[in-house]
Amino acid sequence: MKSNKLSTLIAATCLILGISQYAVAGDFDFYQSTKSVVLTKTDFSDTNSLGAVAAVCPEAGYLVAQGSAGILLSPVVGDTTGVVQGGISITLDNTAPYAADPHHYNSLVFNTVGNNSATAASLQRIDTCVAGQKITYRLVAWHEYAGALSNAFQPRLVVQFFNNRI
């Protein structure tokens, strides 16, 4: 009961003082999947889309996008070098073929002969926006020097708005 009274008091104080909820928490949206995505694309300029979130800024401020996925890179059958490579990126307002963003990506390189390589990959980006601006973020992934059994597991993309610097 005391916590309800305290919450009500804080909310009323914020309303009286004109403090926006965005200064405290902010709006957010997300994409999340429990499925895996087979990574068929092998080029930084033509990647697999893992999910997208469209955000509209309610006022001037900042959008923070955070993306992650489990990445499994399998070696090419018969390859004896053992190098597998891939990556994830958060792109901004792009269209097919979904090129990765050269300023916002995470590259993964393993050296393993005959074995799969798995790791968690994550990254974030921060962009400024103006009131009413719509931005579509897309989490993408690709593999290079890896086999056809490469996957991205449970991709997640969260976009959050803040009206002041974090």
pLDDT at position 6: 46
Local structure of residue 150 (DSSP, 8 states): -
Q: How many Å apart are CA 143 and CA 78, to the nearest integer?
A: 17
pLDDT at position 121: 92
- Residues 127-148: pLDDT tens digits? 999 999 999 999 999 988 888 8
Residue 5 lies in a domain: no
Residue 32 lies in a domain: yes
Model-level pTM?
A: 0.79
pLDDT at position 4: 52
CB-facing half-sphere around the CA of 85: CA atoms within 13 A: 10
Residue 87 lies in a domain: yes
Residue 16 lies in a domain: no
Helix (H, G, I), strand (E, B) or coil at 54: strand
pLDDT at position 28: 83
Q: Which DSSP helix (H) or strand (E) runs through 15?
A: helix 2-17
- Residues 2-58: pLDDT tens digits? 545 544 444 444 434 444 443 434 678 999 999 999 999 988 899 999 999 999 999
Is it the case that residue 157 has pLDDT exceeding 50?
Answer: yes
Strands (E), 15-133: 28-32, 36-38, 48-56, 61-73, 83-92, 105-111, 117-129
Domain that holds residue 55: 26-162
Residue 69 lies in a domain: yes
How many folded domains does the chain comprise? 1
Residue 68 lies in a domain: yes
Q: What is the mean pLDDT of residues 57-65?
A: 93
CATH of the domain at 49: 2.60.120.1340
Residue 120 lies in a domain: yes
Q: How confident is the model at residue 166 (pLDDT cuts 50, 70, 90)?
A: low
Q: Which DSSP helix (H) or strand (E) runs through 26?
A: none
Residue 13 lies in a domain: no
- Residues 77-115: pLDDT tens digits? 887 777 888 899 999 988 888 899 998 888 888 777 777
